[in-house]
Structure 1
Amino acid sequence: MRTALTRIAALLPGRADLAEMRRDPRRDLLAGLTVAIVALPLALGFGVSSGLGAEAGLATAVVAGALAALFGGSNLQVSGPTGAMTVVLVPIVGEYGPGGVLTVGLMAGVMLVALAALRAGKYMQYVPAPVVEGFTLGIACVIGLQQIPNALGVPKPEGDRVLPVTWRAIEEFAEAPNWTAVGLAVAVAAVMLAGARWRPTVPFSIVAVIAATLVAQAAGLDAAQPIGDLPSGLPAPSLSFLDLGSLGTLLAPAVAVAALAALESLLSASVADGMTVGQQHDPDRELFGQGLANIAAPLFGGVPATGAIARTAVNVRTGASSRLAALTHAAILAVIVFAAAPLVSKIPLAALAGVLLATAIRMVEVGSLRSMAKATRSDALILILTAVATLALDLVYAVIIG
C-alpha cells in the first residue's frame, strides 16, 4: 500500500510545477493567447470531422486541454482534439453512434491511467522512425480526404471508409457544383499556407476564417453552410451516455483510442523537448494526465484527446516556459465558448475544411520523407507500408504492421 501511494504521489503535480508557473507568467500568458487563437478553428474543425459537432471539439479543447496541462508530464504540451484521433473516431461514430464514442473515450482514459501506474511510458520510445513518418503521412492524407465533402459544399455521404466517401462526395458535386464552398475552402487554405511562409508567427488560420465568415455574411452566400447553433457554455457533466451492456463490444475500439492517445501524446512531448533546452517530459506522468483528460472530456460531451504536435510547437515557438501557457489556452477557449458562441456558429463549414486541408498539407515534411526514403530500402518500404495501411485500414493496425 505504501508503494502504491508513493507511486500515485509521483504522478501528481508538485511544488516544482507551481514554481515554474511563477517564473515568467507574462510570457506564458501571451503564448497561451496565441495558441488559443490557433487552436479555435482546429477544435471546431476536428469536432465537425469526428461526427459529434463543433461543440464537442470545443469541449474537448477546454476540459481535456486544462486537465492534461495540469496533470501531464510535459511543461509545454498542449492537448485537445487532433486529426489522428478524428481518423479513428469516424468509424466508431458510424458503428456505435455518439454515445459509443463518449464511452470509448472514458474507457481509454481509464486504460491510460493504468498504463501510467504500470510505468509503460518508456516503451513508446521504441516505435521506429520510419513508422512514425509513414503514420504521419497517412494521417495527413486521411485528414485531407475527410474535408472533401465540406470543401465541395455537399452533405457527407454515408460510410466510414474515407476513400469511398470521398468518391461519392465528388460525384454529388459533379451533379450540382457548389463553387462558393470550393472558393472559400481554397482561399482559406491558400492564405494559411502562404502566410505560414511569410510570417510564421502570425496565426493566419483565425485571420482567414474571420475573413471567410465576413465575406459569406456580407454577400449572403447561402451555399456557404455555417456550423450552426452552439451552446453558450459547457453542458453539465453527465454519465447518461454510458451503456454498461455495450462495454464488451467497445473494448477493442477503446484499446485503439488509448494506444493512439499514448503514442501521439508522447511523440508530441518528445518534439517539445527537442525544440527547447533543459526541458524533459515524464512519460508516465504524461500518460496519467492524458488519462484524466480523457476520463473527464466525455462527461462534458467531448471527444477523446491527445497531445497536439502543431499546437505544442506553436506554444514553444511563442516563448512558453511552463504549463501555465497551456492552461491559459484552455481558459481563453472557455471564455469564447461562454461569450462568443453566436459569432462562432456563423463560421462556414467550408472555411473550417480549408483550415484542415492546410493543416494536412503542413503535416507532410517533404525533406524528412525524402531523406528517409533514400536512407535504406527497408526504411522506405516500412514508411510506404505504414502510410498505405493508415489510409486503407486504421491507425493502430498501421503502426503494428509497420
Structure 2
Amino acid sequence: MSPSRAASAAVRTGTEAVRRLLPRRADYAGLRRSWRSDVLAGITVGVVALPLALAFGISSGVGAAAGLITAVVAGLIAAIFGGSNVQVSGPTGAMAVILAPIVAEHGISSLALVTVLAGILVLLLGIFRLGRAVTLIPWPVIEGFTLGIAAIIFLQQVPAAFGVDTPAGMRTLPAALHVVTTADWSLAVRTLAVVAAVALLMIVLPRIRAGFPASLAAVVVVTVVVQFASVPVPRIGALPTELSTPALPNFDPVMVQSLAGAALAIAVLAAIESLLSARVAASMAPTGPYDPDRELTGQGLASVASGLFGGMPATGAIARTAVNVRSGARTRVAAVTHSLLLLGVVYLATGPVAAIPLAALSGVLMVTSFRMVSATTIRQILRSTRSDALIFVVTAVVTVCFDLIEAVQIGILIAALLALRGVAGRSTVEREELPGEHHRGDERIALYRLDGSMFFGAADRLATGIADQAHAADADVVIIAMSRLGMLDATGANSLAQLVQQLEARGLTVLIKGVRPEHRALLDRVGVLDSLRHPNHLLDSLDAAVAHARSHVARLRTGAPGTSDS
C-alpha cells in the first residue's frame, strides 16, 4: 500500500473511531412513541436522586451543593455522551467513600483539580477502547466490593446520626466507634430520632404503594415536623441559587503530582462502577446493548464538566438507573429530564432544601446501604466454592478496613492465583500403554501424555514428573504426547526443552508427538526442537511415534548402526 493510501486509511479509521464515540440520531430511536414515559421516568428518578445527591455530597466532605451540581451537570453530559440509553449518572456512595479521605488530606480546594484529572483519565480509557476490561473482574470481587462500600456508607453516617462532626484524621470504622463510645446522649437522642423516623418511613411507604418515592417523602415529612417543632438539629444550610460560571482549576505541577494517585483511584472506581451499572441496565431494559467505550468517554466528559462547575466526580448510579428503567425509560430523554428537574431545584427551591436536617440524609443513606446488599447473593457466593467465598470475604474486609482500590486489586490477585492453582492442578502427565498388540521390547518404551496446560504454574511439576517416571521405568525411548495440551507458554516450552536435554543426556531417546500448530513456533523459538537428537523425532501421529520407537529399541537390542539419527 502506498504511503498516501495508508495515510487515508488511517484518517478514515480515526474518523470512524471518533464518530463511534459521539452522540447520534439512533440514540433517540422510538422517541415519538416513548417520550411521555421517558419524561415521567425522568421526573421519578429526579425525585429519588435529590436526597441522594445532597447526602452523597455531604458524606464525601465537599458539601450538599457539590452533590447537587454533580447530579445536574454530570448527569446531563453523561446522558448525552454515554454509551447507555437508560443510564443515570451522578454522585454515588462509592465515590463519596473514596473522595472523603482525599478531601480531608488535600482540602476542599483540591476537589476541582482531582475531579478534572480523574475525568480526563476515564476519557482516555474510553478513547483507547478499554471498556471491556471490567469483564475481567470476578463476580465475588464485585460483590465483596459492594458489600464493603455499603458498610462504609453506613459507618460514615454515624457521626451525623449522633449530631457531631466526623473526627479528623480517623478512618471510617474507628471514627464511628469513637463517636458511639463518646456520645452525648442528651443531644444524640434528637438526631437519632430523626434517623429512625426517616428509616421507618422509607421501609413502610413502599409497602403501602409500590414505586412511591419514599426517600424524598420521608425527608419532606421529617423536615416539616422538625421545622414546626423547632427541634434543634444541624441542617444542610445555604445552597447556591444558580450554577456558577465554569472555571478551569489551577493546574499547579506540585498539586497535580500530589493528586495523581488519588485521581487514578477515582478514575478506576468511576470506570468500574459506571460499566457495571450500564451492564445491569442492559440486562433490565429492552433498549439493546450498551457501548462500554462510549460509556467511559461520556463518564469522563461528565466528570470534567462537573469539576469545571465545582462538582465532584460522577459515575453511573445502579440504584437510580434501576429506578429509571422500572419507571419506563427507553431513551436518554429520561436521564436528561432527571438532570433538568434537579436544575430547577437549584434555581427555584434551594430555600426549603437548606432546612433539611443532616440526620435525615444520614437516615436515607443508612437505609440505602442496607438495600445495596443482597442476602441471596451473599449466600450464593458463600455456598459456591471455598475459593470464591475467600475472595468475597477478603475483598469486603479490605474495602472496609483499608482502601477501595486496594480491595479490588487484592481481590483480583487472589482470584487470579486461585484460578491459576486450579488450572495447574488440572494439568497432568500420565503414562499410557502402547496401542495395539504387545511387541518384544515395548517395556523399554515409555509413553507419557501431557493433558491440560503447561504454563509457569505447572511446567516444573509436569517436567519433573516425566523425568522421574522415565528414570524409574528404566526406559530407552520416551514418547511425549502433546496433542491434548491446551495451553503452552514460554516457561512451559523452556521446561520441555530442559527435560529433553536431561533425558537425552541420560542416553534416552526422546520422541515428541502431536504438537499443535499454534505451539510449533514457540517450541522452535525456545529450542525444544533443537534439543531433539534428530528432526525425525518430531512426529504427527501416535502410530508413527510408536513404530519409530520400536525400530529404535530393536536396533539397540541387536546392536545395529543408525541409533543416533533414527
- Shorter-chain TM band: over 0.9
Write out aligned runs for 1:1-400 (5 A): 1-174=11-184, 176-222=186-232, 224-400=233-409
Contact 1:60-1:305 within 8 A present in 2 as well = yes
Matching residue's letter, 1:340: A
> Structure 2 unaligned runs (5+)?
1-10, 412-566
Matching residue's letter, 1:266: L
Task: Tell me: CA distance 1:242–1:186, structure 2 relative to 1, closer, same or farther (3 Å).
Answer: farther
Contact 2:235-2:355 within 8 A present in 1 as well = yes
> Structure 1 unaligned runs (5+)?
none
Contact 1:90-1:160 within 8 A present in 2 as well = no
Identify the residue that residue 401 of structure 1 maps to in structure 2.
410
Contact 2:161-2:188 within 8 A present in 1 as well = no
Shift of 1:314: 0.2
Shift of 1:241: 4.9
Shift of 1:313: 0.3
Task: Tell me: CA distance 1:339–1:365, structure 2 relative to 1, closer, same or farther (3 Å).
Answer: same
Contact 1:64-1:296 within 8 A present in 2 as well = yes
Identify the residue that residue 472 of structure 2 maps to in structure 1.
none
- Structure number with larger C-alpha Rg: 2
Task: Tell me: CA distance 1:355–1:323, structure 2 relative to 1, closer, same or farther (3 Å).
Answer: same
Identify the residue that residue 509 of structure 2 maps to in structure 1.
none
Matched residues in 1 for 2:366 and 2:190: separation? 17
Matching residue's letter, 1:189: A
Q: How many pairs align? A: 401
Contact 1:154-1:172 within 8 A present in 2 as well = no
Matching residue's letter, 1:167: L
Shift of 1:271: 0.7
Matched residues in 2 for 1:349 and 1:244: separation? 37
Query: Which secondary structure does the structure 2 equivalent of 1:238 belong to?
Result: coil
Of 208-217 and 239-248, more deviation after overlay is shown by 239-248
Query: Which secondary structure does the structure 1 equivalent of 2:335 belong to?
Result: helix
Matched residues in 2 for 1:309 and 1:187: separation? 26
Matched residues in 2 for 1:360 and 1:94: separation? 22
Shift of 1:126: 1.4
Shift of 1:118: 0.8
Contact 2:28-2:332 within 8 A present in 1 as well = no
Question: Percent of aligned pairs with the same residue?
Answer: 51
Matched residues in 1 for 2:390 and 2:70: separation? 36
Matching residue's letter, 1:45: A
Contact 1:94-1:160 within 8 A present in 2 as well = no
Matched residues in 1 for 2:349 and 2:287: separation? 38
Shift of 1:18: 3.1
* Backbone CA RMSD of aligned residues: 1.3
Query: Which secondary structure does the structure 1 equivalent of 2:242 belong to?
Result: coil
Matched residues in 1 for 2:237 and 2:172: separation? 24
Contact 2:126-2:293 within 8 A present in 1 as well = yes
What whole-Å deviation, never above 9, does each CA across 1:155-187 have from its counterpart, x for those lacking one?
221125101211222234246542110000111
Q: TM-score, normalised by structure 1?
A: 0.97
Query: Which secondary structure does the structure 1 equivalent of 2:107 belong to?
Result: helix
Task: Tell me: CA distance 1:220–1:242, structure 2 relative to 1, closer, same or farther (3 Å).
Answer: farther
Matched residues in 1 for 2:293 and 2:259: separation? 25
What whole-Å deviation, never above 9, does each CA across 1:124-146 have from its counterpart, x for those lacking one?
11111101110110000000000
Contact 1:109-1:258 within 8 A present in 2 as well = yes
Identify the residue that residue 529 of structure 2 maps to in structure 1.
none
Shift of 1:218: 0.4
Matching residue's letter, 1:112: V
Query: Which secondary structure does the structure 2 equivalent of 1:358 belong to?
Result: helix
Q: Which has the higher contact order (CA 8 A, sep 6+)?
A: 1
Shift of 1:195: 2.9
Shift of 1:15: 1.3
- Which runs of structure 1 show a deviation greater than 4 angstroms over 4 or more consecutive aligned residues? none
Matched residues in 1 for 2:58 and 2:253: separation? 27
Matched residues in 2 for 1:4 and 1:112: separation? 19
Matched residues in 1 for 2:388 and 2:376: separation? 15
Matched residues in 2 for 1:356 and 1:338: separation? 25
Shift of 1:58: 0.3
Shift of 1:269: 0.6
Matching residue's letter, 1:74: S
Matched residues in 2 for 1:56 and 1:241: separation? 18
Q: TM-score, normalised by structure 2?
A: 0.69
Contact 1:269-1:307 within 8 A present in 2 as well = yes
What whole-Å deviation, never above 9, does each CA across 1:261-306 have from its counterpart, x for those lacking one?
0000000011111112352110000000000001110111100010
Shift of 1:198: 4.4
Matched residues in 1 for 2:116 and 2:227: separation? 39
Task: Tell me: CA distance 1:34–1:160, structure 2 relative to 1, closer, same or farther (3 Å).
Answer: farther
Matched residues in 1 for 2:278 and 2:102: separation? 27
Matched residues in 2 for 1:386 and 1:235: separation? 40
Matching residue's letter, 2:394: L
Matched residues in 2 for 1:167 and 1:376: separation? 33
Shift of 1:45: 0.1
Of 191-200 and 99-108, more deviation after overlay is shown by 191-200
Matched residues in 1 for 2:296 and 2:68: separation? 22
Query: Which secondary structure does the structure 2 equivalent of 1:247 belong to?
Result: helix
What whole-Å deviation, never above 9, does each CA across 1:93-114 have from its counterpart, x for those lacking one?
0111112232111111111111
Matching residue's letter, 1:186: A
